[in-house]
Structure 1
Amino acid sequence: MDGERSTNREFLGVGWRFPLQVTPSGRIAQARYEQRIEEAIVIVLSTVPGELPMLPEFGCGIHNTLFAPNDSRTVALVVHDVRQALTRYEPRIDVLDVHAETTLDAPNLLLIRINYRVRETNSIGNLVYPFYIRESR
């Protein structure tokens, strides 16, 4: 059973850490399994569509709201764009919930909370992604 579980986790992936890091021994640091998925989510949300020449559609449309007012319409658009991007570009997870909220201390900051399930292991994960909106006033 333990060998079967290990094989299932291999699907989650192993790769370079993001952002790129070097270990004390001089090797490139690696991310494994669930950590790799979390880093992939951050990459999807941080990439502006059109930014990657070989994958021009890859990324998340939240960057189109960069100068939008921080109101309920913008929050709903951000939630929609995050859900759509993760559903399209991260096949290892099921997006359970996406919620965005502002804080009184930083009115131009949206905290995007993402709850997801890893398909292969059925484990639940969550991530808070900070996104800054600079109003155009």
Structure 2
Amino acid sequence: MDRAFLGTGWKFPPQVSPTGAIATSSQEQKIEESIFLILGTARRERPMLPSYGCGIHDLVFSPDNPGTVAEISASVREALVTYEPRVDVLAVDVNAAPGQRNVLLIRVDYRVRANNARGNLVYPFFITEGM
């Protein structure tokens, strides 16, 4: 099955392969890296595309309460629907990391539109400074 439609590009974060060339990633790995890039980029961080990224970074130092969790979940869903057209976001769950009050784990379940492959990833979000 030809899966070129999933894309190929530089690996994120950028790396050099053992042969000295720029390392690349493709298929589902590229989509996962794209999701991490979207979630790791704060809005207004890119001067030429200020709306790119996710609004969760505006919530650093917010109280760890259900309202903040709901805002994080909505912001993640909005960013992925807007900037990752290759997937359908199935669920976004935000939970506190066991034993770490300052970390929220954002679990994203998604489906690749072109081939219905399901995937998920967990993005750690540090809501307050280290303790």
TM-score (norm 1): 0.91
Unaligned runs of 5+ in 1: none
* Correspondence for 1:91 among 85, 89, 94: 85
Matched, 1:109 2:107: no
Partner AA of 1:109 in structure 2? V
CA separation in 1, counterparts of 2:50 and 2:96?
A: 30
* Correspondence for 1:133 among 121, 127, 131: 127
What's the secondary structure of 2:111's corresponding residue? strand
TM-fit CA distance, 1:55: 0.6
Does 1 or 2 have the higher relative contact order (CA < 8 Å, sep 6+)? Answer: 1
What's the secondary structure of 1:86's corresponding residue? helix
CA separation in 2, counterparts of 1:75 and 1:11?
A: 34
* Correspondence for 1:78 among 66, 72, 76: 72
Equivalent in the alignment of 2:22? 28
CA separation in 1, counterparts of 2:19 and 2:47?
A: 34
Partner AA of 2:4 in structure 1? E
Q: Which has the larger radius of gyration?
A: 1
TM-fit CA distance, 1:104: 3.7
What's the secondary structure of 1:128's corresponding residue? strand
Question: In proportion to residue count, which structure has more strand?
Answer: 2
Partner AA of 1:46 in structure 2? G
Calculate the aligned-residue CA RMSD, in Å: 0.9
Matched, 1:49 2:43: yes
TM-score (norm 2): 0.95
Matched, 1:16 2:7: no
Unaligned runs of 5+ in 2: none
